Amino acid sequence: MLTSIGLTALLTLLAAASPLRVRTPYAVRESHLQGNFNELERHLYQVSNPSHEQYGQHLSTHEVNALVKPMDEALDLVHSWVEDNGIKTSNCEYSPAKDWIKLSPPINAIENLLSTEYSVFQYSEGGNTNPAIATACNAALVTPLCLRALYGTVKYTVQSTNTNKIALNDFLGESNNRSDTKIFLQKYRPDAVSGVDTFKVEIIAGRKDEQTQDTAAELAAGKDTEGNLDSETLISMAYPIPLIPYRTGGHQPFTPDFLPHVISTSYADDEQTVPLSYALSVCSSFAQLGARGVSLFSGSGDFGVGPPGDCLANDEYHASTFLARFPTSCPYITSVGATKFIPEIVATDGKNKFASGGGVGKQILGLYNPSGRAYPDLAAQGYHYSTIWNGTLLPLDGTSASTPTAAAIFSLVNDDLIAKGKPPMGFLNPWLYSVGYKGFMDVVHGSAVGCGTHGFPAKKGRDAVTGFGTPWFPSIGELAANASAIVLKR
């Protein structure tokens, strides 16, 4: 499941490492070859492609698990490997499909098993770091009313709150402060204030629902700016669709009681820092969610094609390279870039070195891999978002703003589909690239600057900085409904 995966934050400000005690119990998960992922992928594209007769007929949990369950021989090999290193497998915990195994042996046993040494690291410092539209929007500060007018959702009435839900992911200690979110909604969308009291936090792997006042150190580090931006944007855009924040503190598997139809993730790593085996396991988990009818959104990054001075491969050659982002480079996610102003252009902000991310995943040689997965797929406003943090107004930039905006718009699309007796969108990209792009407003100015270059420019049609452009909800809703209608007539 998506929510069982905590993205590893590989930050540079690390200090004060200390070894773990030899006998410390420590949880480790082993992911091994999934039994029939090629067949799962085939089903994923069938149920996500409007031209296929299976469009919208998403798989059940049981059907997905049956496809990804590893072969008995693979399980036997893993068990033998673990037993040969002195670890008993009698206490193994398994995911429903048995494609993940969790063990909690002493730390010295894990060090021997993996031929490594575990340490505890602490951060020495940290931080996070038309007429109607013209009337509603101000370039200096983007508000929910501006976004709803700009993208055509302001007149839509939500209908399917009993079956439609939207979720966000909280990582790296972030929370969604109810007090700040309430102040935000009172100011910008008073009719949605009740959404503050009704969002249900799902706690994963030891995290807490932290609603207390941040300490001086936490305030200095900007704690919860990310979390507040996500919850305030999603509720103000999608209310009264129920919101579920998944608050993750570790890496243990998690199986929710109800899968939301849309999940927004505003966190990412440099793709080259993520081990390939881990990235493939995570990406295949995203495919499983897509096959079950979940739409996943991820920000394309905030450094263009890479921060100046850091654009080097992390191998022995250290060649110059654009820095792709993960998980947005996974092909089973819908990647979201950022825009600013009206008419919209690529979002940048020289004051904080923000530049909307764009690129191509699975880098091999040169600045980028021309045969890799290009992203983003679409874009939305991501500049000077009004955010309430610590009780005060704080304008924020980033694809962390554009991502929940896009997610909220498609949650409204799902709401309309469900009310009409049709299935939710699920994995968006096959629909987007075959039909859905017609519902987007092209962005043709600006570029994903970075690495001392102009990066990838915006241009007519699809590009690697704004994708197909920004969404116009009335057109997207009509295209989505028509795609489902074609299948229902077959």
257 annotated as ligand-binding: no
- Assess whether 218 carries a catalytic annotation: no
Q: Is 99 labelled as part of a ligand binding site?
A: no
DSSP 385: B
Q: In the 8-state DSSP scheme, what is residue 231?
A: H
Does the annotation flag 269 for ligand binding? Answer: no
Is 262 marked as a binding-site residue?
A: no
Active-site annotation holds for 53 = no
For residue 486, the tally of other CB atoms under 10 A from its CB is 14
d(CA 474, CA 482): 12
Q: Max Cα separation, the chain?
A: 72
Residue 79 structure tokens: 């068990």
Locate 7 and state its tokens. 């993205």
Q: Which two tokens stand for residue 89?
A: 């497998």
Residue among 226, 269, 377, 415 flagged as catalytic: 226
Tokens encoding 81 = 């490997």
Structure tokens at 271: 């793709």
Active-site residue (options: 202, 230, 232, 377) = 230
- Active-site annotation holds for 329: no
Q: Which of 295, 400, 402, 411 is catalytic?
A: 400
| The two structure tokens encoding residue 18 | 């200390």
Q: Are 255 and 30 in contact (CB under 8 A)?
A: no
Euclidean distance between CA atoms 183 and 202, whole angstroms? 23
d(CA 120, CA 431): 45
3-state secondary structure of 99: coil
Nearest to 169 by CA among 234, 219, 99: 234
201, amino acid identity: V
Residue type, 163: T
Please provide the DSSP assignment of 107-162 as one string: HHHHHHHHT---EEEEESS-----HHHHHH--TTSB-HHHHHHHTT-TT-----TT
Catalytic residues: 226, 230, 400
Q: Which residues are part of a known binding site?
A: 442-443, 461, 463
Residues belonging to the binding site for Ca(2+) are: 442-443, 461, 463
